[in-house]
Amino acid sequence: MFTSIKKEKMPRNFDTEIREVFNKKYLKVFIRDLTRINEIQAFLEGLNCTRTVNISNSTSRSSPHQNLTVYPSRVYDIEEVQREVTVALESYFTGSPVDPDFVEEGISSISDNAYSQIIDYINLLGRNLEKSRDLRVNFDEERSRDYFLPFLNSISRNHVATGETFNGIGRTDILIQNEHGENVFIGECKIWRGQAQFTDAINQLLDRYVNWRDEKIALMIFNKTVQNFTDVIEKAKEAMENHPNFHSFIRERNSTSFSYLFKHPEDNKRTIKIELMLFDFT
């Protein structure tokens, strides 16, 4: 008597499978749309957890004729790589293509529309990461920053996102520049350690990382210890509005993302947009 076994269908965009050869584990990634395989290969190679990503051919009738072979970086186990690649690809396919409206006019060379698209994309990525507790539990400020960089690098061929880059008199966590080396976006990642230290983070961002031409920035806050996340949100908003450079509140983008206008630290006749984004990693 034969028993019918229901075969699990491949997800809409991708699937992953851990394999092993000669006691060394690696990850197979199967992409449904093979026209994007080179793009996705480059994207996955930007993740901290991956050492090498190769395009491999397959003659199996049960899988696409090409797939990706992912080898982990030395300090990552294969299960962690699988989790990070899965979350990354879910975010990639959900939010791609972003295609922000970069312009070559104005001091910052970025339109308000592009700024909003970048902020919305970061919010999407952060919310997806919130869902994966096993992955984000070990994320510190540096690891959180590195998680966002490959995505931000994939949104424009003429712009580059880098981490720990000198700007002003310090190293900013995320800096997006155009092909002329001009800043279009600054992002700073911080673990929530109370309202006083958050105010220090605002001061650090304004005093050390912002120059006269910068006008669109973001503060990305990760809560890892406070169970009452609403309390964190309220205290962060209070610190923003009580800051000496605070000019006005623009809008609530969503329940954890807020837009502000601040007086520019180097010129009180200019203003600077700051997006406050909070993510719950408890």
- Cα radius of gyration (the chain): 21
Largest CA distance in the chain: 83
CA atoms within 13 A on the CB side of 135: 23
Q: Which residues of 13-169 form beta strands (DSSP E)?
A: 14-21, 24-31, 50-57, 66-72, 159-167
Distance of CA 212 to the CA centre of its chain: 26
For 132, the 3-state DSSP assignment is coil
Average pLDDT over residues 107-129: 77
Provide the percentage of residues in the chain whose pLDDT is more than 70: 84
Q: What is the pLDDT of residues 48-101, one digit of tens each?
A: 789 999 999 988 877 888 999 999 988 888 998 998 898 888 877 875 444 455
Give dist(CA 6, CA 19) in Å, integer. 23
Cα–Cα dist 70/86, whole Å = 12
Whether the Cβ atoms of residue 175 and residue 161 lie closer than 8 Å to each other: yes
Q: Is residue 98 classed exposed, middle or buried when 0-12, 13-18 and 19+ CB atoms within 10 A define those classes? A: middle
Structure tokens, 270 = 């200019």
Q: Strand, helix or coil at 127?
A: helix
Confidence of residue 109 (pLDDT cuts 50, 70, 90): low
Q: Residue written as tokens 């329940």?
A: 255
Q: Is 23 left (phi over 0), alpha (psi -120 to 50) or beta?
A: left
- The residue-averaged pLDDT of 250-260 equals 94
pTM, 2 dp: 0.69
Q: What is the model's pLDDT at position 165?
A: 53
Please give the pLDDT value at position 4: 41
The pair of three-digit structure tokens given for residue 31, joined into one six-digit string: 């992409």
Sign of the alpha-carbon torsion through 262, 264, 269, 273: negative
CA distance 148 to 188: 11
CATH class of 14-78: alpha beta
What are the backbone dihedrals phi and psi of residue 211, each rounded to the nearest 5 degrees, phi first?
-110, 180
**Is the separation of the CB atoms in 240 and 246 below 8 Å?**
yes
Tokens 């034969």 label which residue?
Answer: 2
Q: According to CATH, where is 3.30.70 located in the chain?
A: 14-78
